[in-house]
């Protein structure tokens, strides 16, 4: 095991996949000499040159469209959207082209590409640089959606995504880039569609996505001091979703809290709740609780931004509510 931060784990995954497969290349704004908006691709231009670390013009629709075409012709592009908010400019290329090609050509054409995008709030970047769009893309047949929470998962999931023959939306929370943790040495792959139990528990299941995993674990530590045993499960990918593991955990504890940073209405937690409700309804002792961003734009004011972002104390309150203690 080697200790590293999430941004370094992602960089190592990119480097290893580019060394392993000459068809893998990067493209995105400022990913070369600048190293990307958050320093993830730092040093890769020097290692692989401008033919494989490409800085296109400031046109997300243009370079995502180029990535779709390259993937159709047998390459494995990894495109970086500087902020997930800017992915809206390329929705036609992603939703109507990348996601549909394999279906329209009866599997004779695949689109093996990854779109990396920093997402989430908490870094004082305002309404156009702080959103969470994971539910959008999980709703589109043909796309896979991945949300890592730890350095090990970030590396292993990204390497698996690069090797996948379908387009993958790989969402990296900006607030997680500095998170440090152990990463296995050597070849490390994490399968898509396999949830991970980050903490075993018996009283309540907390299903947490992305940066909320760390907050859920912190909440579980506090609740343990009060004699409440919390199981924390990280789906790691929303599409495919490990329904079996979610239902099994809910059936074991009988109480469920779902935590994500995306807004609550029509958010990813709604689908997770439906899956658990369908599969474990007879085991649930209380209604499912959700912890999420309120239905508002992300404010620029630090005080207001801190007010709307879901926190570990919100998870604690929700856990106590499903236990009938609040």
Residues 257, 279 within the same domain: yes
For residue 165, tell me if it sits in a domain.
yes
For residue 289, tell me if it sits in a domain.
yes
Residues 168, 214 within the same domain: no
What b-and-e string marks burial along 198-237, b requiring 16 or more CB atoms within 10 Å of the CB?
bbebebbbbbbbbbbbbbbbbbbeebeeeebebbbbbbbb
Q: Please state, as a whole number, how many other Cβ atoms lie within 10 Å of the Cβ of residue 41.
A: 26
d(CA 169, CA 142): 11
Q: How far is CA 68 from the centre of its chain?
A: 21
Q: Vertex 171, ends 170 and 172: CA angle to 5°?
A: 120
Tokens of 22: 């000459």
Positions of the chain with pLDDT lower than 50, given as ranges:
none
For residue 191, tell me if it sits in a domain.
no
Residues 114, 157 within the same domain: yes
Residues 66, 200 within the same domain: no
Which of 130, 155, 183 terminates a domain? The answer is 183
Residues 208, 165 within the same domain: no
- Asked whether the CA dihedral 240, 242, 244, 246 is positive or negative, the reply is negative
Q: What SS3 class is residue 111?
A: coil
d(CA 234, CA 149): 8
For residue 132, tell me if it sits in a domain.
yes
For residue 189, tell me if it sits in a domain.
no
Structural domain containing residue 97: 2-183
Tokens of 32: 């070369």
d(CA 131, CA 118): 9
Residues facing 233 on adjacent strands: 197, 207
- How high is the pLDDT of residue 325? 81
Look up 173 and say whether it is catalytic.
no
d(CA 43, CA 7): 13
Q: What is the domain count for the chain?
A: 2
Residues 174, 202 within the same domain: no
Which of 120, 149, 183 terminates a domain? The answer is 183
Which of 155, 183, 211 terminates a domain? The answer is 183
For residue 190, tell me if it sits in a domain.
no
For residue 141, tell me if it sits in a domain.
yes
Residues 14, 112 within the same domain: yes
Instruction: Answer whether 145's CB lies under 8 Å from 137's CB.
Output: yes
| Strand (E) or helix (H) holding 276 | helix 268-280
In the sheet that holds 114-119, the strands lie side by side as: 53-54, 24-28, 76-80, 114-119, 168-173, 144-146, 237-239
Residues 167, 210 within the same domain: no
Tell me, what CATH number does 11's domain have?
A: 3.40.50.970
- How high is the pLDDT of residue 326? 65
Which of the following is catalytic: 129, 173, 260, 314?
Answer: 129
For residue 286, tell me if it sits in a domain.
yes
Give CA torsion, residues 198, 200, 201, 204, to 10 deg: 30
Residues 316, 267 within the same domain: yes
Residues 206, 126 within the same domain: no
Tell me, what CATH number does 283's domain have?
A: 3.40.50.920
Burial class (CB in 10 A: 0-12, 13-18, 19+), 125: middle
Going by DSSP bridges, is the β-strand pair 237-239/144-146 parallel, antiparallel, or unpaired?
Answer: antiparallel
Residues 18, 127 within the same domain: yes
- How high is the pLDDT of residue 120? 96
Tokens of 274: 């439906």
Residues 150, 215 within the same domain: no
| Strand spans (E) along 174-326 | 180-183, 196-199, 204-208, 230-234, 237-239, 256-263, 289-293
């Amino acid at each position: 095991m080697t200790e590293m931060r999430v941004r370094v784990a992602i960089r190592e995954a990119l480097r290893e996949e580019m060394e392993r497969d000459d068809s893998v290349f990067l493209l995105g704004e400022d990913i070369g000499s600048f190293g990307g908006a958050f320093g993830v691709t730092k040093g890769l231009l020097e290692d692989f040159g401008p033919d494989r670390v490409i800085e296109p013009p400031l046109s997300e629709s243009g370079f995502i469209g180029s990535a779709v075409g390259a993937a159709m012709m047998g390459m494995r592009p990894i495109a970086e959207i500087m902020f997930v908010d800017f992915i809206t400019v390329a929705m036609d290329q992603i939703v109507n082209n990348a996601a549909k090609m394999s279906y329209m050509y009866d599997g004779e054409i695949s689109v093996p590409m990854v779109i990396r995008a920093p997402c989430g709030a908490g870094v004082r970047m305002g309404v156009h640089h702080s959103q969470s769009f994971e539910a959008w893309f999980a709703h589109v047949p043909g796309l896979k959606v991945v949300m890592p929470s730890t350095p090990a998962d970030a590396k292993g999931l990204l390497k698996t995504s690069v090797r996948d023959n379908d387009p993958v939306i790989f969402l990296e929370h900006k607030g997680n880039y500095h998170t440090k943790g152990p990463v296995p040495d050597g070849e490390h792959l994490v399968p898509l569609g396999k949830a991970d139990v980050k903490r075993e528990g018996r009283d309540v299941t907390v299903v947490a996505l992305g940066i909320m995993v760390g907050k859920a674990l912190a909440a579980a530590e506090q609740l343990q001091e009060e004699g409440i045993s919390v199981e924390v499960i990280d789906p790691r990918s929303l599409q495919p979703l490990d329904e079996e593991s979610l239902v099994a955990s809910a059936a074991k504890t009988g109480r469920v809290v779902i935590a994500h940073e995306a807004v609550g209405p029509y958010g990813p937690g709604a689908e997770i709740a439906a899956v658990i409700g369908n599969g474990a309804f007879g085991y649930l002792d209380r209604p499912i609780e959700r912890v999420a961003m309120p239905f508002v734009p992300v404010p620029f004011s630090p005080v207001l931004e801190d007010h709307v972002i879901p926190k570990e104390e919100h998870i604690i309150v929700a856990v106590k509510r499903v236990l009938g203690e609040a």
